[in-house]
Structure 1
Amino acid sequence: MKRIGVSLVLLVAAGAGLFALTPAPRAESGGRVKTDFTPAQEKQIEALVRQYILDHPEIIPEAVTELQRREVVKVLNSYRDQIETPFPGAVAGNPKGDVTLVEFFDFRCPYCRRSHAVMKELIASDPNLKVVYRDLPILDQQGSEPLSRRAALMALAAARQGRYLEMHDAIFSVEGRVTQEKLVAAARKAGVNEKRLATDMNDPSLEQELNKNLQLGGTLGLSGTPTYIIGDQIISGAVSIDDLRDAIAKTRSSRTGTQTGE
């Protein structure tokens, strides 16, 4: 029983309805859980929980998933401001929207490119959505030309001219494999001042922004791109627009205290 862990036991006990009949646990300093149970009551609860687990073994993965979800929420809440505060200009949709969607992406990622049209449709169809773009250049291979990072620096430098979204669209419109020549063509398509762009790309603060994004990605355990953060949800991969809409609706519902469809 002790191998399952106190937190898991408490979750299982809650699922079994045991807390309706017993005092609620309370936290003490040092992270320990203190209850008002007598030793005899604790033994009784352990026996009931053990039997409940044996009768319903399917709750173990459910409880583990719930524990993982709570840990994710804890991390997200700790870094919420860093995650949702955009690099100036790297934002789309309604800047005062009631829900913020954060997308971590790599310009060389084919799934991100495929999702780009989905994001544009989503923004156009939801007037209360704020989208924060976080460049996460993770696809550069050691010894190769750092095109993911270069593309990200171009987009951030374009933001200095108020043309981040134009550059974002232009790079994702590149056909086939991304090359330096195609990035130059994308810059011209975005309508930026190329001389200023080249200067701003060497600004150390842009490198700091990319490094911050990479550090955030590591802290959040992001394993690839695209990855979306919506409220307390982390969604990985090129998901459908309906999946994103469902996640947005869930976040709105949780904040208003109502359930979607009621």
Structure 2
Amino acid sequence: MNEQTHSRRIIIATVVSGLAILLALAVYVYWPSPAPDRPHMAPTADGAAKSADEAVAAAGMSPAERMATEALVKAYILQNPEIITDAVAILQQREVTKRLSAAGDEIAKPFPGAEAGNPKGDVTIVEFTDYNCGFCRASVADVQRLLKGDGNIRLVYRELPILSQSSREAALWALAAARQGKHKAFHDALFASGRADAANIAAAARTAGLDVPAAQTFAASPQAAKEIERNLALMQQIGFNGTPTFIIGDQILEGALGYEALKNAVEKARQKS
């Protein structure tokens, strides 16, 4: 083996060793727990170490050369620890993109009538919500402000009743309101009234101007129940656990984020479109 080839192999082994150390750190420190019912595909530290051993052997590095390489990589990581979080952020975004791609167009395909904003907007926000969720209620004003200030956003509501039986009843009535073209009016009225109990659901239905007998019939229908199950399945497939959850472009954002965070997410999605 000539000197040039040997040096090239050492460089390759150095890079692989560094990546192995980064990967091992990422696995143990930063890699998120897998969502329920989704297999855990994270690489292992043992696997990373094996890859490094194979690269070192292929490069023909001596034990002294390996020790020197590992010392250099360790020193660089300690001096520049931000590269770990940068690398993990890239890995996490790739995982998010993969999960959203697997769900496909179903995410942004609303139940008829369960949408607001500009139907031809260049950015779509998909909001998973539960009418008994305090964080969802806290987000209503921020979402309304966002729609009012940006006329090019399409908002898709997805009913996700995960907190209680009354959450499910409220979600079914929201779908009935959507069927009558009055989803937003019902949505806003129910969140404004407080907890989604039977009395408040009935009051929101009256405020929204629903045909109550027709809404009651639809809320008890298999079609409405099927939509709820569809949304629950999407939650499992995409891999989030609570409400509100916003999907904006290739971003999955959980919790009451506030107006500025939502606005920034929309701008980020718009830049990528």
Q: Shorter-chain-normalised TM-score: which range?
A: 0.7 to 0.9
Q: What's 1:247 paired with?
A: 265
Counterpart Cα distance in 2 of 1:209 and 1:70 = 29
**1:111 equivalent in alignment to 2:163:** no
Q: What's 1:34 paired with?
A: none
Q: What's 2:105 paired with?
A: 81
Counterpart Cα distance in 1 of 2:241 and 2:114 = 22
Amino acid at match of 2:210: V
4+ runs of 1 displaced by more than 3 Å? Answer: 1-6, 39-44, 46-55
Amino acid at match of 1:202: A
Total equivalences in the alignment: 224
Q: What's 2:93 paired with?
A: 69
Q: What's 2:215 paired with?
A: 197
Counterpart Cα distance in 1 of 2:225 and 2:254 = 25
Cα offset, 1:251, TM superposition? 1.0
Q: What's 1:97 paired with?
A: 121
TM-score of the two chains, using structure 1 as the length reference: 0.76
Task: Describe the superposition over 1:10-36 as per-residue Cα deviations: whole angstroms up to 9, x where unpaired.
Answer: xxxxxxxxxxxxxxxxxxxxxxxxxxx
CA RMSD of aligned residues (A): 2.9
Aligned to 1:164, which of 166, 169, 183? 183
Cα offset, 1:54, TM superposition? 5.1
Larger displacement relative to structure 2 (59-68 or 99-108): 59-68
* Structure-2 change in CA distance of 1:41 and 1:147 (3 Å): farther
Counterpart Cα distance in 1 of 2:242 and 2:81 = 32
* Structure-2 change in CA distance of 1:3 and 1:165 (3 Å): same
Cα offset, 1:129, TM superposition? 0.4
Cα offset, 1:104, TM superposition? 0.7
Counterpart Cα distance in 2 of 1:5 and 1:111 = 35
Max Rg structure:
2
Amino acid at match of 1:209: E
Q: What's 1:212 paired with?
A: 230
**1:147 equivalent in alignment to 2:171:** no
**1:237 equivalent in alignment to 2:255:** yes
Counterpart Cα distance in 1 of 2:249 and 2:268 = 9
Task: Describe the superposition over 1:24-66 as per-residue Cα deviations: whole angstroms up to 9, x where unpaired.
Answer: xxxxxxxxxxxxxxx439999x867666435434322321222
Counterpart Cα distance in 2 of 1:97 and 1:54 = 46
**1:122 equivalent in alignment to 2:146:** yes
Aligned to 1:228, which of 246, 249, 270? 246
Give secondary structure in 2 for the equivalent of 1:173.
helix
Counterpart Cα distance in 2 of 1:65 and 1:171 = 38
Larger displacement relative to structure 2 (208-217 or 61-70): 61-70
Give secondary structure in 1 for the equivalent of 2:131.
coil
Counterpart Cα distance in 2 of 1:219 and 1:41 = 45
Give secondary structure in 1 for the equivalent of 2:111.
coil
Q: What's 2:47 paired with?
A: none
Aligned to 1:53, which of 62, 67, 77? 77
Q: Which runs of 5+ in 1 are unaligned?
A: 9-38, 141-145, 256-262
Identity %: 47
Q: Which runs of 5+ in 2 are unaligned?
A: 1-16, 27-57
Q: Hey, which of these two has a bigger chunk of helix by percent?
A: 2
CA contact (8 A) 2:137 2:191 kept: yes
Give secondary structure in 1 for the equivalent of 2:240.
coil
Cα offset, 1:182, TM superposition? 1.5
